[in-house]
């Protein structure tokens, strides 16, 4: 637990900085692009994200699992990623070009140049995701933290340059996103080369097939998970204005960028450790889920209560209609944050199909609720649909964890005395009084 706490502290510290820069980025896009431009940017990002995720086929999670479990060397993992990334990205871009020729109202939400620029995000996003996450497979959490910070800061600076200073609007935001990915890719590869002497090796089709098959089982869930997060934007792009799309995008982004930082950090640290252990360390995963729920509960409450001033300051008063959406998303976000940690156990013990089924069920709920309630409720229906889909997928993931971990449900979910001891130690560790005492002790020596 002590090792996990150290890795979590390094990773979470970076995520906090990334969160701050991410909120700065979202504020920059909101103030400069306004609701209509923010909506166009959101539609372009959704378009390329869904294409990229569909052709990624779970390769990012599979690579971490195989490298962390020593089934692949780091050189093999990097080489296979290059080979597969070039093939899958090529197919994704070609598919995108074909889709853009179809007479879909979705493509009226932004100009053609913006959608073409969005296609450039597909290969850059693929390589950036996999290479950065491979750092965690070899337990380089500090360098994962450093490169993650570099990723967030470079995106913010490039966005300020292209969108704020040069006034390139949506095109500038997309260029900033593409360029920051390539900066991150170069940084990760230079680190791998310098410390681990990573080099290209002859790819083994047999091993690539093993990685592909593992990723394929997780792939349905990964696609469904992203569709679940983006389906509201997709449907709104067809039936609503760019302004309404911009409102929903900002509401979802605030919850995912902010509150989801906690479970994402926990999962980043947990997955390699779970993959290394034959039992999957279920009690550790359960404790992390409980503590994540506690932390996220406090964050969700703060965001929901202070939503109005947060939106005014970060995104400008023109985005105030997103406040009710944020409060509708609060419950679903809290449940999702807590139960999302269980997926580390399912992925690390070779049961990624459970998550696929769970998220696919969530997507079905999302689409049905949107279809039924959108004509009646309007924009709040998108937030309600996302909340109900989160609840559905979270229940299935929790049941899958309980089945394979064989832990008692009450033992898994309910906070116990030892959890509060961990919370107390964490507070004391980062308290100003303790840090002051350590400095005085070091000076005395």
More confident residue, 56 or 431: 56
Alpha carbon 191 to its chain centroid, in Å, reads: 23
pLDDT at 350 over 90: no
Residue 132 is predicted with a pLDDT of 93
In a domain, 342, yes or no: yes
Residue 280's nearest CA partner among 398, 423, 406 is 406
What is the band of 226 on the pLDDT scale with cuts at 50, 70, 90?
A: low
pLDDT at 162 over 80: yes
What is the band of 154 on the pLDDT scale with cuts at 50, 70, 90?
A: very high
pLDDT at 430 over 80: no
Residue 239 is predicted with a pLDDT of 64
What is the band of 89 on the pLDDT scale with cuts at 50, 70, 90?
A: very high
State both tokens at 230: 């983006």
In a domain, 434, yes or no: no
How many folded domains does the chain comprise?
A: 1
pLDDT at 73 over 90: yes
Mean pLDDT over 208-225 rounds to 74
In a domain, 439, yes or no: no
- Label residue 230 exposed, middle or buried (CB < 10 Å: 0-12, 13-18, 19+): buried
In a domain, 38, yes or no: yes
What is the band of 257 on the pLDDT scale with cuts at 50, 70, 90?
A: low
State both tokens at 23: 């909120």
Name the residue range of residue 267's domain: 2-428
Task: Report the distance separating Cα 305 and Cα 323, nearest Å.
Answer: 10
Residue 443 is predicted with a pLDDT of 42
Mean pLDDT, the chain, whole residue set: 84
What is the band of 11 on the pLDDT scale with cuts at 50, 70, 90?
A: low
Distances (CA, A) of 77 to 64, 68, 205: 9, 10, 13
Task: Report the distance separating Cα 94 and Cα 82, nearest Å.
Answer: 18
More confident residue, 118 or 237: 118
Q: State pTM to two decimals.
A: 0.71
Task: Report the distance separating Cα 65 and Cα 443, nearest Å.
Answer: 45
Residue 434 is predicted with a pLDDT of 53
Mean pLDDT over 204-220 rounds to 83
Crossing angle of helices 282-305 and 380-405, in 10° steps, is: 160
pLDDT at 7 over 70: no
Residue with tokens 């005014």: 312
In a domain, 200, yes or no: yes
What percentage of the chain exceeds 90 in pLDDT?
Answer: 38
What is the band of 5 on the pLDDT scale with cuts at 50, 70, 90?
A: low
Residue 182 is predicted with a pLDDT of 97
Residue 54 is predicted with a pLDDT of 79
CB count, 10 Å around CB of 380?
A: 17
Residue 444 is predicted with a pLDDT of 46
* Residue 337: CA count within 13 A, CB half-sphere: 27
CB count, 10 Å around CB of 414?
A: 10
pLDDT at 3 over 80: no
In a domain, 357, yes or no: yes
Mean pLDDT over 254-269 rounds to 79
Mean pLDDT over 279-306 rounds to 89
H or E element in which residue 204 lies:
none
Mean pLDDT over 160-184 rounds to 95
């Amino acid at each position: 637990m002590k090792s996990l706490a150290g890795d979590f502290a390094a990773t979470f510290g970076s995520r906090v900085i990334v969160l701050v820069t991410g909120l700065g980025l979202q504020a920059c896009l909101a103030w400069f692009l306004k609701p209509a431009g923010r909506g166009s940017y959101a539609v372009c990002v959704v378009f390329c994200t869904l294409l990229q995720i569909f052709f990624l086929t779970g390769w990012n999670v599979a690579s971490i699992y195989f490298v962390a479990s020593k089934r692949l060397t780091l050189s093999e993992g990097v080489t296979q990623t290059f080979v597969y990334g070039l093939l899958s990205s090529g197919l994704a871009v070609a598919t995108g070009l074909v889709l853009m020729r179809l007479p879909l109202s979705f493509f009226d939400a932004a100009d053609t140049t913006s959608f073409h620029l969005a296609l450039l995000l597909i290969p850059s996003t693929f390589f950036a995701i996999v290479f950065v996450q491979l750092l965690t497979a070899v337990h380089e959490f500090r360098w994962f933290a450093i490169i993650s910070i570099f990723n967030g800061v470079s995106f913010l600076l490039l966005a300020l340059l292209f969108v704020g200073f040069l006034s390139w609007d949506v095109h500038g935001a997309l260029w900033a996103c593409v360029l920051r990915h390539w900066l991150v890719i170069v940084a990760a590869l230079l680190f791998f080369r310098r410390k681990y002497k990573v080099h290209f090796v002859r790819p083994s089709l047999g091993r690539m097939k093993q990685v592909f098959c593992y990723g394929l089982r997780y792939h349905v869930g990964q696609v469904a998970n992203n569709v679940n997060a983006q389906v509201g934007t997709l449907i709104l792009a067809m039936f609503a204005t760019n302004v309404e799309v911009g409102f929903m995008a900002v509401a979802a982004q605030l919850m995912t960028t902010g509150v989801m930082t906690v479970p994402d950090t926990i999962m980043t640290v947990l997955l390699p450790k779970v993959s290394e252990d034959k039992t999957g360390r279920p009690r550790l995963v359960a404790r992390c889920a409980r503590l994540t729920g506690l932390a996220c509960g406090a964050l969700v409450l703060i965001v929901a209560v202070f939503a109005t001033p947060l939106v005014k300051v970060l995104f400008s008063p023109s985005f105030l209609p997103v406040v009710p959406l944020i409060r509708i998303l609060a419950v679903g976000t809290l449940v999702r944050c807590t139960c999302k940690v269980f997926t580390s156990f399912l992925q690390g013990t070779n049961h990624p199909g459970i998550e696929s089924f769970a998220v696919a069920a969530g997507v079905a709920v999302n689409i049905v609720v949107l279809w039924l309630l959108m004509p009646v409720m309007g924009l709040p229906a998108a937030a309600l649909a996302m909340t109900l889909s989160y609840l559905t997928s979270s229940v299935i993931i929790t049941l899958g964890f309980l089945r394979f971990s064989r832990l008692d449900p009450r033992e898994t979910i309910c906070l116990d005395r030892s959890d509060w001891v961990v919370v107390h130690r964490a507070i004391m560790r980062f308290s100003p009084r303790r840090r002051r005492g350590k400095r005085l002790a070091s000076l005395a020596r």
